[in-house]
Structure 1
Amino acid sequence: MSKFNSTKNRVATGSSPVAAGAVPAGVTFEGAPGYARDQKSELFLLAVTNMVGESTFYEAAGDRDSRYAALVRAVAVADPQWLAGFLGWLRTDANLRSASLVGGLEAAKAMVAAGVPGGRQIVASVLRRADEPGEALAYWTSRYGRAIPKPVKRGVADAVARLYTEHGLLKYDTASKGFRFADVIDLVHPTPAAPWQGDLFLTALERRHNRDEVVRASLPMVAANAALRRAAADDPGVLLAADRLRAAGMTWEDALSLAGDRLDKAALWTALIPGMGFMSLSRNLRNFDRAGVSDEVAASVAARIADPGQVATSRQLPMRFLSAYRAAPSLRWAYPLEQAIGHALASVPRLAGRTLVLVDTSGSMHSTFSKDGTLLRWDAAVVFGVALAQRCAYADVVSFSTGSRVFPLRPGESLLRSIERWKTDGFFMGYGTATAEALRAHFAGHDRVVVVTDEQASAGGVVDTAVPPTVPMYTWNLAGYRFGHAPSGTANRHTFGGLTDQAFRMIPLLEGGRDADWPWAVG
């Protein structure tokens, strides 16, 4: 009988960027053979799952952050061009704000110490919102004191010139911030990009130092905001004029605070909604329902939430729509959110043949991504696993921990309804991570295997050999721990990572015999 020369074997010619050794170099946290990754691969998988300052099941926040900073510093000196591309992508396409900001500052520190140019450009590239120059200086001074190297100062100054606007000042320059806009300006001395921005800098300094603010013709939004606040003190009804709210750059938080209990909440939300951003809309659905906004207003919100262009521009993580779905008491948001999560998962491919999808719901996957606790790693695993399965020609979906259960897909069922059924029917299981055992139990000649997991497999089973070497096995990593459960990069073993749908694009490339590179331009 032929072992290798058969029509079922796949030619393993494609390579993928996340590389792990062919033999174990340690053990996972649960004792299975662990495969070490090269520095760039370890950094990538850690960064795309790292909210910074957050503990995971196996790794304390301080240890995780220290590992991340050390990896960034090492790669910044070894390959600054690669790191610059990575951090820019991390902040934009991956939409991971804290990890990219910390990465940019740690990279600049290492590059300054090693005499490597480019730190200024990296710092500027990761600052994309008007509050982030202050965030960057707060991080730096809390770790390294007020002696700030010139590349860091100049990178922050470049960002200030690009980001500081009237709307940004009104939205983000609040007393709760340790670094106000004026503090940033005093520290980095940015050059105004235009005369109006010079006036904005003066206004920020006046606000910070409790001096009377001068009304400047070049800053009509700031002037309108001050006038609206004065008028609202006597007549809160002025806050019901949507056009006036927009012209004054009035945030929904400020408007609610100014109105207090003096206005009908439904009327106030109706005035605020046209000027609200996409993220604010999706996070306030519960408040809209509680206030009793009309169906007509709700329909306008629903249309924006379901709009593919607005979803793409917002770069919201798919799990955010699941969180909004669970929080909203009214069913009128269900279909728009289903459409939105579908748009957010647009890069999930349609795969021919038979696919086995294993979703890790062990105890370690019950850990949160952030302190608010609304998003769990196993929620993300189910979102990605079921979304992929629904696009396959044929898929078997399995929830596994110490044991395993087949999750029955229902034709035509929405993704959000499937995820809720996963929860109500007890498919979030807990306990250990018997990955190899689940693979052996459920693999039955499938064309490919996808495992969505934190890779911390239990001792007593070898994941790599649980699937024939001729069958592609794709691991989707959602935690970024040091050791993985299988080799990666070549020969039908590949690891992806992240909280967006982008890496799914690699599967058709690899199965077409092509190499899959990093998701940003290198070189």
Structure 2
Amino acid sequence: MARFNTRTAKAQPKSAVASTGRVLRTHEGGRGQERDPRSELFLLAVADFVSQDTFYEKAEDRDDRFARLVRDLAVADPQWTAGLLGWLRGEGNMRTASLVGAAEYVHARLAAGATDGPSNRQVVASVLQRPDEPGELLAYWTSAYGRAVPKPVKRGVADAVRRLYHARSLLKYDTASKGYRFGDILNLVHASPDPDKPWQGDLFRYALDRRHHPDTAVPPASLPALSLHRELMALPVEARRAVVTSADGAERLAAAGVTWEALAGWLQGPLDKAAWEAVIPSMGPMALVRNLRNFDEAGVSDEVAAQVAARISDPEQVRRSRQFPFRYLAAYQHAPSLRWSYPLEQALGHSLANVPALPGRTLILVDRSGSMFWSKVSARSQLSRADAAAVFGTALALRAADADLVQFGSTSDTVRFRTGESVLKVLERFGDLGGTDTTEAVRRHYRRHDRVLIVTDEQYSPHRHGGPTAQVPDHVPVYTWNLEGYRAGHGPSGTGNRHTFGGLTDAAFRMVALLESGRDGRWPWLA
């Protein structure tokens, strides 16, 4: 008689975030699970905006824990750690954490004399994706480790400089507010021009002249945008608004690389209707999203507004911007005009394109406890982790074949929705529910569902019936989506139908389909 090779036998896949079996306590006193170092670092990294307090953890403690984990794993597992850092800046779109991580990676490996795995130079270059980031990384390094910058850091920065520096990046990012100007960086790393960019040598020389001899620096003829910019800057203040209102004003501003951030300073006055309409054509999609309220207050025309709406809701523009979905929620909440509601709803939908259509019956629990409201998704945002949790929980529910959507805190209740309803409308039905009784929420609402998904910071209160995931039969998958990256988790993870994911993008949800099809859910950069 067959004992194992039967028709009902199923693969038991593993997921990347794994617990060790050691019991810890959550910050609320619940019985928590320790994660292995790679899992702890991953969950912390995808939720860490650096130098930002959370409800249970001070910024300096959080940053120290992040740096310690990076340093340890840079020596113990350099291949994995380098992969994490590159993915974190790319698909993960976490800028500051990846820059800090790269610096700590290099410092730890130099101190240990380690030579295996990816080179320090490669890791530095991999996290520098925007023209202002070489200066950011150097500023972090010198503030943490002094002005002696090692060769691997210099060479990695030089590789990035050749890739990123061009005329428009000079105009946008080489400003007096920066401690490291483009010329300072070129002096420090001695980057040679890219041979495939014949104009770059002129750019480098001009960046150096502009830094050290600003009054006499002359823009090179090979880079006309620099000359056009200089001409506009030299115009008398009283003549500048005429440029904005002229028939070719938008083209002149764009050709000269005048950004919306710089335009008010150039005009030496507020941006009115004409100014916004002149600069809108050259603005990026996320700059448009951030300024919808300003467009309304200035009274931009319906024709221009329609062009803005088309761009911010274009699927390809949304994909290329790699913005977190909560950015569109923030814009929706702060834009006063209804003319932006539908475009922002479309953009939010495009940003959640990878949310799976789950079959069967799904229970989705969204954490609306006090700690989730206290922690913001970033230092620049007024949106809370609770907002982010609600966005993804709602998107999952709307895509699922049959879902129960529940919000929980000290109490819990069902959030009603209709098939095909707007994500943004459903979000209006969420509230603030106090403490964190995750266990009772699962016990109350689990009714023979095919899977359970919990969006939370995992810091639950003690309960006489045990932890949240223990309330669900072992054969039913429980997926925890962690938004905060604290050390202790609310249940085991990695095997046995218990899996944890992290981050503020929808990429983690791809793992649900993989695990349910019997394939292992690997780290995103290895999948």
TM range, normalised to the smaller chain? over 0.9
Distance 1:451 1:350 in 2: 17
TM normalised by structure 2 equals: 0.94
Which residue identity does 2:29 align to in structure 1?
G
Question: What is aligned with 1:447?
Answer: 450
Deviations 1:273-311 (A, max 9, x none): 111111111101011101111111001011111111000
Distance 1:282 1:421 in 2: 24
Question: What is aligned with 2:395?
Answer: 387
Deviations 1:255-279 (A, max 9, x none): 22222348x7111111111111111
Distance 1:57 1:39 in 2: 22
Question: What is aligned with 1:401?
Answer: 409
- Alignment map for 1:163-242 (pairs within 5 Å): 163-193=164-194, 194-209=197-212, 210-231=214-235, 233-235=237-239, 236-240=241-245, 241-242=249-250
Does the 8 Å CA contact 1:302/1:336 hold for their aligned counterparts? yes
Does the 8 Å CA contact 1:232/1:238 hold for their aligned counterparts? no
Question: What is aligned with 1:520?
Answer: 525
> Which one of the candidate residues 515, 519, 527 is aligned to 1:510?
515
SS at match of 1:25: strand
- Alignment map for 1:43-442 (pairs within 5 Å): 43-117=41-115, 118-193=119-194, 194-209=197-212, 210-231=214-235, 233-235=237-239, 236-240=241-245, 241-261=249-269, 265-366=272-373, 367-422=375-430, 428-442=431-445
Which residue identity does 2:153 align to in structure 1?
V
Shift of residue 214 of structure 1?
1.2
Which residue identity does 2:519 align to in structure 1?
R
Distance 1:165 1:10 in 2: 58
Deviations 1:304-344 (A, max 9, x none): 11111000000010000000111100010111111101010
Change (3 A) 1:325 1:34: same
Once the two structures are aligned, what percentage of the paired residues are identical? 59
Distance 2:304 2:215 in 1: 41
Which residue identity does 1:137 align to in structure 2?
L
Distance 2:296 2:369 in 1: 35
Worse-superposed segment, 387-396 or 197-206: 197-206
SS at match of 2:208: helix
Shift of residue 430 of structure 1?
4.0
Which residue identity does 1:342 align to in structure 2?
G
Shift of residue 253 of structure 1?
1.6
- Matched positions, count: 510
* Gaps in structure 1 of 5+ consecutive residues: 423-427
Does the 8 Å CA contact 2:362/2:453 hold for their aligned counterparts? yes
* Gaps in structure 2 of 5+ consecutive residues: none
SS at match of 2:429: helix
TM normalised by structure 1 equals: 0.94
RMSD: 1.8
Shift of residue 10 of structure 1?
8.8
Distance 2:74 2:215 in 1: 43
SS at match of 2:428: helix
Deviations 1:148-184 (A, max 9, x none): 1111111111111111111011001111111111111
Worse-superposed segment, 208-217 or 248-257: 208-217
Deviations 1:420-460 (A, max 9, x none): 232xxxxx324221111110011000000000000011112
Shift of residue 195 of structure 1?
4.2
Deviations 1:356-388 (A, max 9, x none): 000011111111122234221001000010100
SS at match of 1:74: helix
Does the 8 Å CA contact 1:10/1:470 hold for their aligned counterparts? no
Question: What is aligned with 2:496?
Answer: 491
Distance 1:32 1:11 in 2: 32
Distance 2:19 2:79 in 1: 22
Does the 8 Å CA contact 1:48/1:96 hold for their aligned counterparts? yes
Deviations 1:456-515 (A, max 9, x none): 111123223111111100000000001101111111000001000011011111111111
Does the 8 Å CA contact 2:312/2:344 hold for their aligned counterparts? yes
Worse-superposed segment, 177-186 or 190-199: 190-199
